A and B are shown apart, each in its own frame.
Chain A
Amino acid sequence: MILKPRLQDIRNIGYYLGKIMIGLGLTMLMPVALGICIGEINPVLDFIIATEITLIFGLILSRLCYTESDLNWQQGMVVVSLSWLAAMLVSAIPLYLSGHWKSFLDACFEAMSGLATTGLILVQDLDHLSRSHNLWRHLTMFIGGQGMAIVALSLLLRGSAGAFRLYVGEAREEKLLPNVIHTARFIWLISIVYLIIGTTALGVAGIFSVGLKPAASFFHAACIFMAGFDTAGFAPNSQNILYYHSWLYEGIIILIIVAGALNFNFHYQLWKGNFREARKNIETRAFFISVLLIFFVAAVGLQQTAVYEGAMMLFRKGFFQFISGHTTTGYATIYAQQFIREWGNLALVGLITAMALGGCACSTAGGIKMLRVGIIAKALKEDVKRIILPEKAVVTQKFHHIKEVFLDDRMVRSAALITIAYIVLYFTGAIIGMCYGHPFLYSLFESTSAAANVGLSCGITDAAMPSALKITYIFQMWAGRLEFMSVFTLLGFLVAAVRGK
């Protein structure tokens, strides 16, 4: 028998949703401050309106649903999935008011793309967009990459079991420190330290290597860092990273996006001076092997098409797009149409595979994740051993991830289930794309890019694409970012609300 949600369930969900909305509303004051400083009048009004709507919404919810009881697992998951949808709606308000998006749906698409750290864009005339709006586009990536619940956890919520449930709901299962609030704050600390280092490096390179003026250079640097470290992929100009025409800039960006794709727990080990972890960790090993093998395939494909003369050119163009795809960032130094017209099928298959696998768990990257790939590979190795060795032999398999862990069936089952869910999501989006007349490989490219929160496009994503396809990609970005469980819980909650007794 399905039980109908009780009033207390609704109150708990509403209260925490309200708190998260208040946090989000307050972050909108940052573009307001920038706009005031540089004299962008109407953009300031756009953000004041959006802040007011978000705060009204958040205050009413948190007051009407006021509660002192903690969240249970179901409520925590529902809060997370609903807060991402609500955040998409309110984040889209200032974008839509700017007039650079053709419809509110397009603005919602861009907002979800930012929050889910995807990077697919529907903005019109990006080169004339205000700096306030550009800052907000990149801030959504920073907030979404760290996790909105983490923002709220760090600032507004007290430490509790419910806080941990919100944390898990946003696809983060590993606690770096015993207390989840301390973990959230440490993730912020890592991000802020890298923000300062990365922005400085890009800012200096922007002045001396790219040729930007100092103020512009540091604005670009901050935006590029936020979208890069959060493996997102927005850029302030329409040409994305091609705008800068600089190998040094591209090199620094590669370091930033790889750092962003690594597990925060791994960063924590490095901070503690445990450098051996880099060599022993199953995720970093899987990531390194995957990069080598799949890039080799993509490079062979590029070699066949002979679009890039010489190894250096092939490496600069090929590896940048490839590592951008593998880390699920989505930065590009070529035009979307060039993937279709010049890369050839083999290179595209390599890139799609890299995007599908994604970065590391407990990072800002999307996709299946290297930890799951490593666990499934270990399980396969164990099964092969069982077949080869005598029947009475006891076969155990262990792996190193921060500590030595014995592989058990529950772990393998969990990794396999999420992997299957991602593959289903990739192919479902591809089939829907094919229903609109796009060839299979290109549909799969775009669908994988959306569901794995990558952001590279082969040209399908466009303001003129059908609304149903936009909604499909929005759903894929949302479900892919939250790694399904909170989305499934929300769907179950809605079914219970309708059919429960």
Chain B
Amino acid sequence: MLPVFAQSVSSSELINNAKQYDGKVVSYQGEVIGEVMPRGDFAWANINDGKNAVGIWMTAAQASEISFAGSYKAKGDWFEVEGVFNRSCPQHGGDLDIHARSVIKKIAGRAVAEKLNPDKKQLAIILAVILAVIWILMLFIRR
């Protein structure tokens, strides 16, 4: 039976003390970012806790629970993962990763609606006018 760290461990704690946590069951949580990358019956999801993102190796069934992955246009689902932490995973060429035993969606992600920033719009228009004036002046003031 592998020892379990019941409380969630941060990515910094895992990376900085990788030897101590190597091969142990840890609980880790954060936002799914980027894309979920299916690999046959399994999948990779990278989960960012705000400091670093850590690769989570999970089954395709577990990955199917992910609805949103974080990007410019989306806030990703927030998951709590319990699994075996590998300092240098023998199955994955030495990657620092977590092999998930269970994944629980804590907060559902959502699409982020972008709003036009009026200050930027105003500045862009003013600069366009200045640029146009300079351009026109250059056409008339020829050496």
Residues of chain A touching chain B, judged by Cβ–Cβ distance below 8 Å, are 39-43, 45-46, 48-49, 52-53, 55-56, 59-60, 63, 66, 97, 127-131, 210-213, 216, 237-239, 242-245, 247, 307-310, 312-314, 316-317, 333-335, 337-338, 341-342
| Contact partners of A129 in chain B: CB under 8 A | 72
Choose one: B16, B116, B127; the contact of A42 (CB below 8 Å).
Answer: B116
With A63-B138, A127-B48 as given contacts, are A46 and B33 in contact (CB-CB < 8 Å)?
no
Main secondary structure of the interface of B (DSSP, over half): mixed
| Contact partners of A43 in chain B: CB under 8 A | 72
B58 vs chain A, min Cβ distance (A): 12
Residues of chain B touching chain A, judged by Cβ–Cβ distance below 8 Å, are 12, 15-16, 18-19, 33-39, 43-44, 46, 48, 52-53, 55, 70-72, 87-88, 90, 92-97, 114, 116-117, 120-121, 123-124, 127-128, 130-131, 134-135, 138, 141, 143
Choose one: A40, A42, A60, A333; the contact of B117 (CB below 8 Å).
Answer: A42
Q: How many A-B residue pairs have CB under 8 A?
A: 130
User: Do the beta carbons of B131 and A127 come within 8 Å of each other?
Assistant: no
Main secondary structure of the interface of A (DSSP, over half): helix
User: Which residue on A lies nearest to B97, using beta carbons?
Assistant: A245
User: Do the beta carbons of A337 and B16 come within 8 Å of each other?
Assistant: yes
Measured in the bound complex, the distance between the Cα atoms of B42 and A211 in whole Å is 11
User: What are 8 pairs between A and B in contact, CB < 8 Å?
Assistant: A42-B116, A48-B127, A59-B134, A63-B141, A127-B70, A245-B55, A313-B90, A333-B95
With A42-B114, A216-B35 as given contacts, are A341 and B44 in contact (CB-CB < 8 Å)?
no
User: Do the beta carbons of A238 and B16 come within 8 Å of each other?
Assistant: no
Measured in the bound complex, the distance between the Cα atoms of B21 and A334 in whole Å is 17
| Contact partners of A243 in chain B: CB under 8 A | 34, 46, 53, 55
Measured in the bound complex, the distance between the Cα atoms of B43 and A127 in whole Å is 19
With A59-B138, A342-B18 as given contacts, are A238 and B53 in contact (CB-CB < 8 Å)?
yes
Identify which of A59, A131, A242, A309 gathers the most chain B CB atoms within 10 Å of its CB. A242
User: Which residue on A lies nearest to B38, using beta carbons?
Assistant: A211
Measured in the bound complex, the distance between the Cα atoms of B72 and A312 in whole Å is 37
User: Do the beta carbons of B127 and A128 come within 8 Å of each other?
Assistant: no
User: Do the beta carbons of A308 and B88 come within 8 Å of each other?
Assistant: yes
A37 vs chain B, min Cβ distance (A): 14
B75 vs chain A, min Cβ distance (A): 8
User: Do the beta carbons of B88 and A46 come within 8 Å of each other?
Assistant: no
Measured in the bound complex, the distance between the Cα atoms of B18 and A342 in whole Å is 9
User: Do the beta carbons of A52 and B131 come within 8 Å of each other?
Assistant: yes
Choose one: A49, A130, A210, A242; the contact of B127 (CB below 8 Å).
Answer: A49
